[in-house]
Amino acid sequence: MNEEILQNIAAIQERINNACKENGRNRNEVKLLLATKTVPTDRIKIALQAGQTLIAENKVQELKEKYEVLKVIPHTNHFIGHLQTNKIKDLLKYDVSCIQSLDRLNLAEKLHRRLLFENKTIEVLIQVNTSFEESKFGTSPDNAIELVKQVAQLETLKIKGLMTIGLFSAETEKVRKCFRLLKDIQQQIIALEIPNVEMQELSMGMSNDLETAIAEGATIIRVGTAIFGKRIYPDSYYWNEGIK
């Protein structure tokens, strides 16, 4: 089972390398993030011991449960799930360096207030719903620039770029459209030269579509299934909880 994780990581590295080569991307521009939702700590540890350094959870509860066990191996934690405002205080206890799923002003304001109180700052990516599916979180593409401008005024939040979950589809061109849209929004934001806004990161691409994402400019790809295997919960468990 341990072997399998190592082999899977090697296979993903190979896919990243090939996609970079084919698209004239520099391999150093693309970071691999391991999406560890539902994965037990003994399996995550194998990946960290093999040299992986960037992991992310979707739920504060899981982050909390795994934190003590994993912290003995140096690594960086991002957060990629839907964040409820009543979980902010808890989240900030577990050394998360970047919240990739900042998708609404109300959340940003509450985060900012808490960070001021704790005298801390945190990196964020703005999550954009590029597939226009109701089942996905993220601000609408139309509202993304406005949200960036608003969040930029909250000085504890350091905007580093954008994140999206593309359409789940076997039709590559439809998926590509989502990633192109994110890149397009990124370019528009860069042109505005908003103070307190950096736009170097594009977090997009998962197990099934990382090649397309790299072709379209991804700097962080988020991989779960292709490394740790199938999850017992469907993704709707993580992605639809806030839908009413």
Ligand X SMILES: *Cc1c(COP(=O)(O)O)cnc(C)c1O
238 is a contact residue toward ligand X (CB under 6 A): yes
80 is a contact residue toward ligand X (CB under 6 A): yes
Cβ pair 39, 56 in contact under 8 A? no
The stretches of the chain forming alpha helices (DSSP H) are 2-22, 41-49, 60-70, 88-91, 105-118, 141-152, 172-192, 210-215, 225-228, 236-239
Of 2, 40, 29, 32, the closest CA to residue 14 belongs to: 32
From residue 134 to residue 163, the character string flagging contacts with ligand X as x (rule: CB under 6 A) and all else as - is ------------------------------
Which of 70, 175, 206, 220 is close enough to bind ligand X by CB under 6 A?
206
Of 66, 129, 69, the closest CA to residue 101 belongs to: 129
Burial class (CB in 10 A: 0-12, 13-18, 19+), 54: middle
Q: Compute the distance between CA of residue 137 and CA of residue 103 in angstroms, rounded to an integer.
A: 7
Which of 58, 131, 186, 212 is close enough to bind ligand X by CB under 6 A?
58
Question: Which residues are paired to 141 by β-bridges?
Answer: none
Q: Maximum distance among all alpha carbons in the chain?
A: 49
Smallest separation, CB 32 to ligand X (Å) = 11
From residue 13 to residue 52, the character string flagging contacts with ligand X as x (rule: CB under 6 A) and all else as - is ----------------------x-x---------------
204 is a contact residue toward ligand X (CB under 6 A): no
Q: Compute the distance between CA of residue 131 and CA of residue 111 in angstroms, rounded to an integer.
A: 26
63 is a contact residue toward ligand X (CB under 6 A): no
Given the complex with ligand X, which of 8 and 186 has the nearer CB atom? 8
- Neighbour count for residue 114 (Cβ, 10 Å): 17
Which of 48, 55, 111, 165 is close enough to bind ligand X by CB under 6 A?
165
Given the complex with ligand X, which of 152 and 217 has the nearer CB atom? 217
Smallest separation, CB 217 to ligand X (Å) = 17
Cβ pair 74, 49 in contact under 8 A? no
Smallest separation, CB 95 to ligand X (Å) = 19
The alpha-carbon radius of gyration of the chain (Å, integer) is 17
Stretch that binds ligand X, among 62-70, 90-98, 183-191, 206-214 (CB under 6 A): 206-214
Given the complex with ligand X, which of 84 and 194 has the nearer CB atom? 84
Stretch that binds ligand X, among 14-22, 91-99, 113-121, 203-211 (CB under 6 A): 203-211
Q: Which residues bind ligand X (CB under 6 A)?
A: 35, 37, 58, 80, 165, 206-208, 222-226, 238
